[in-house]
Each structure stands twice: as structure tokens, then as C-alpha cells.
Amino acid sequence: GSPDSSRFVFGLDDPMTLLLGSPGAAPAPLASGTRFRWVDASTYVYTSGRAGAWTLTRGSVGGPAVAIASPAGDFVDYDTAY
């Protein structure tokens, strides 16, 4: 869940389909991606694409998602700092 525990993200049916949830609210579609990580209570990053053609995206709950990098390679890993 998010660092403040007010939200969580999960995959449904397809692990690349990310949904945003919060206690007492219905889940909402968030993105098509994987390797989701929270940066802070409302900002997140995730990868989308496929091996050799990844996109690292940064988004904000209620705001737009923006591609921030296009790493090459079959396997991509990254880390976030709070």
C-alpha cells in the first residue's frame, strides 16, 4: 500500500492491469503496467511495455502519468527513495 496506507494497487485478471483501491471505495483502473512502486502517498512509478522496449512511467493519483525513461534490456529494475 501507499506509505500513508490510504491506497493500494493490485492486478486483476491480467497482472499488467493495475487497479487503484482505497478502503470503502470501489477499485478504479490505473494503468497497464508492472513493477509498481509508491514514491510517496500519491505519487507512483511503474514499468510498461515488454522485454527490450520498456517505459518507466511516473504518475500521481488523480493526475496524468508521464513517461520518464525508456530503459533497454530484457530485465529492468529500479528503486525509489522516500
Q: Is the pLDDT of residue 82 over 70?
A: no
Cα separation of 77 and 71, whole Å? 9
pLDDT 10s digits, 13-71: 777 899 999 999 999 999 999 889 999 999 999 999 888 888 999 999 999 999 998 88
Instruction: For residue 8, give the 3-state DSSP assignment.
Output: strand
Q: What is the pLDDT of residue 76?
A: 75
Q: What is the pLDDT of residue 14?
A: 76
Cα separation of 60 and 24, whole Å? 20
pTM, whole model, 2 decimals? 0.82
Q: How many helices (H) and strands (E) are present in the chain, helices listed first?
A: 0, 7
- Residue 72's pLDDT band, with cuts at 50, 70 and 90, is confident
Q: What is the DSSP letter of 71?
A: -
Q: What is the pLDDT of residue 68?
A: 92
Q: What is the pLDDT of residue 13?
A: 75
